Amino acid sequence: MIDANAPKPIYEQIKEYILLQIQSGEYAQGDRIPSERALSETLHVNRQTVKKALDELIHTGHLSVQIGKGTYVSQRKFDMQLETLTSFTEEMMQRGQRASSRVLSQGISLATLAESHLLQMPTGASIVNIVRLRLADDMPMAIEHTQLVEAYCPGLLNGHDFSAESLYDVLLRQYAIRLVRAEQTIGARRATAEESSLLDVLPEDPILAITRITYGERGQRVEFTRSAYAGTRYLLQAVLKSARA
């Protein structure tokens, strides 16, 4: 089960073992998992290493501690707003959590034919690209590749720190762009190796692949974002009205 000679650190192997138990339902949501001591005996590893693995899974929200009782499989899932146009920062604020980002890359590029169709601009026009890992209370939630029409927000990348600032906020405050509507698609697939490492999920874990085209008040397309959300941390809920009413 745990291979001390494998290149992967032992605590990572323990994490994977526990995540697999959760995935397979062996450890069900809300269940107490075996104690550190029991795990160290079952897996023939030292207790400190088990503790390190558990601490990380607590940090990523897979497990939670009930003081004096033990460690439990988390039930907490994030609701995704499906009826209102909100930013990641706003969604986290509504949940009482702190949004932050790690900027993975940013820069200007020239629109390819496909991008020019998506953003309704001429081929070769300037596009602002921002790739961010989005975190909620330091837990990685999503990777977002955002593209914006530079003509609407010239100089966006100068003087802003998108590891701390909200993009929608900056668009409104500095460029008076009020985002009024978005078209969104949601699909499912498996995490790539890069995504699983950035989002701290297993390679086989589900990803919610989301695209969003966001419109300004004049009907102009301002933003196109492709996101990879950690599927295991989300619950999609919507209020449905009868089609016959």
Among 225, 228, 231, 233, binds ligand 16G (CB under 6 A): 225
Cβ 170 to ligand 16G shortest distance, Å: 8
Question: Which helix (H) or strand (E) covers residue 26, if one does?
Answer: none
DSSP 8-state symbol, 16: H
Q: Does 146 bind ligand 16G (CB under 6 A)?
A: yes
- Tell me whether residue 100 or residue 116 sits nearer to ligand 16G (CB atom): 100
> What residues have CB less than 8 Å from 145, skipping those under 6 apart?
129, 130, 131, 225, 226, 227
Which range, of 23-31, 112-120, 164-172, 233-241, touches ligand 16G by CB under 6 A? 164-172
The residue among 45 and 128 lying less far from ligand 16G, judged by its C-beta, is 128
Which residue from 40, 147, 166, 232 is in contact with ligand 16G, where contact means CB under 6 A? 166
CB of 200 to ligand 16G, least distance (A): 18
Name which position in 89, 143, 198, 228 contacts ligand 16G (CB under 6 A).
Answer: 89
φ/ψ (deg, to 5) at 102: -115, 120
87 touching ligand 16G, by CB under 6 A: yes
* Cβ-Cβ contacts under 8 Å for 40 (sequence gap 6 or more): 46, 47, 49, 50
Q: Give 202's contacts (C-beta < 8 A, 6+ positions apart).
A: 16, 19, 20, 23, 191, 196
Closest contact distance (angstroms) between CB of 219 and ligand 16G is 18
Q: What are the structure tokens assigned to 160, written together? A: 């802003």
Closest to ligand 16G by CB, 202 or 210: 210
Distances (CA, A) of 148 to 126, 164, 189: 9, 19, 25
In this chain, which stretch among 69-77, 193-201, 220-228, 235-243 interacts with ligand 16G, using CB under 6 A? 220-228
Distance CA 170, CA 153 (A): 9
Residues β-bridged to residue 99? 136
User: Which residue stretch of 41-49, 60-68, 69-77, 160-168 sits at the interface with ligand 16G (rule: CB under 6 A)?
Assistant: 160-168
Residues that bind ligand 16G (CB under 6 A): 87-89, 99, 144, 146, 166-169, 210, 212, 223, 225, 227
